[in-house]
Structure 1
Amino acid sequence: MSLNTAPKHIQLAVDLIQLLEENHIEPELALKALEIVTNDCQQKIAKQSKLED
């Protein structure tokens, strides 16, 4: 499967991994940052869900 035809979330994941590796981000630091990003996205999804109800 080509990256160009991969689902958008796979393309984004590959881009993020590349960004982290190119900037020599330590895996532990990346995980802590991604935890913050995950929480932020979950809050946005929850707000969006409430608006749709």
Structure 2
Amino acid sequence: MEPDEDGPDLFVFHKAIQHHHIRSLTEGQKVEYTAGHGPKGPEAEEVIPM
């Protein structure tokens, strides 16, 4: 995932997506998230599709 503001790209695990029926994101889809750091580097946590 590429943030709107400057910063590194973020890895997104499907389990971080906070929606019952959505398990993937489309390119360019807007989301809200918390930035974190995981085993693969920077990652998005608590991802909420808009």
TM-score band w.r.t. shorter chain: under 0.3
Q: Normalized per residue, which structure has more strand? A: 2
Q: Whose relative contact order is higher, 1 or 2, with alpha carbons under 8 Å and at least 6 apart?
A: 2
The structure with more radius of gyration: 1
Query: Scaled by the length of structure 1, what TM-score is found?
Result: 0.17
Query: Scaled by the length of structure 2, what TM-score is found?
Result: 0.17
Q: Normalized per residue, which structure has more helix? A: 1
